[in-house]
Structure 1
Amino acid sequence: MLNINEFTSRLQMLLDRYHLTASAFADSINVQRSGISHILSGRNKPSLDFVMKITNVYKDVSLEWLLYGTEEFPKTENETSDTNETPYKEIDNTMGNDLFHSNENFSPKKSNSEIINNAPTTNLASNISKKEVEKIIIFYTDKTFDTYSPS
């Protein structure tokens, strides 16, 4: 059975090894920052998805070590020379655009005025029945009211 206290201490060892804050670690494995905080505080237990994300991103972390502490950390001796590097995912920039830089070749197909001018012309007034005011009631702050009816 998984001992949560030992798991959180191994998770803290992982954060210390890569010199990461809890929020930077959460970003690196693509989980919510609050989730890391809740696991480290003992409020929540780690899910299988959470554990698998750690072992997929941090290749030198053994699943057996992370869960039970039975294997060595790091997993292989070759990877111990680069302990200061964080295995963040590379950002795919194949589009060449981001939120703040627009594509110069982009031009809107139609302007709003063209769309409005090309809208189908139907007589909406003929479809709506004629409504008439039946009664108007005005309420005053002194708890009185007046009623007006058209004659």
Structure 2
Amino acid sequence: MNTRLKQFLAAENISQAQFADTIKVVRASVSHVMSGRNNPGYDFIKAIMSSYPTLNIEWLILGKGKMYKDTVQNSPTIPSNNDLPPIFDEPDLFDQGTYPDNMIIDETVADSQVYDNIPAISSSNTPSANAQQVVKQRKAVKVTIFFDDGTYQEMGI
């Protein structure tokens, strides 16, 4: 497989480092596969497939067929929102047009009308005047940052 991978890199006119950066693997992994030291794993092959969709993976792995796929498969077309029938017959709530009478809110409600409906708080749940409330302050001692490449860094405070 390493000879076919070398042929592919030559056809694409890219270096091993550029190839590793494109498929988002460690450069040493590409070097080890190219030298024959390691065989490529599933994640390595999957990264090649996603980065180079025109490459014939069967050719790369088994040596069968042509280097590149003959035709690119057409992806199914997704209809736009304009082509779909409406699901609900209700008006759009965010539309700036007219609204039915039952949807208009009377904003002239007096404050006293609003506060009358609030229930009184029971005094049985409130702490007594003699009780002291103890609050223990917490302090951060370590922060760990996780990066998208799988590494992390810990920092003591």
Q: TM-score, normalised by structure 1?
A: 0.45
More helix by share: 1
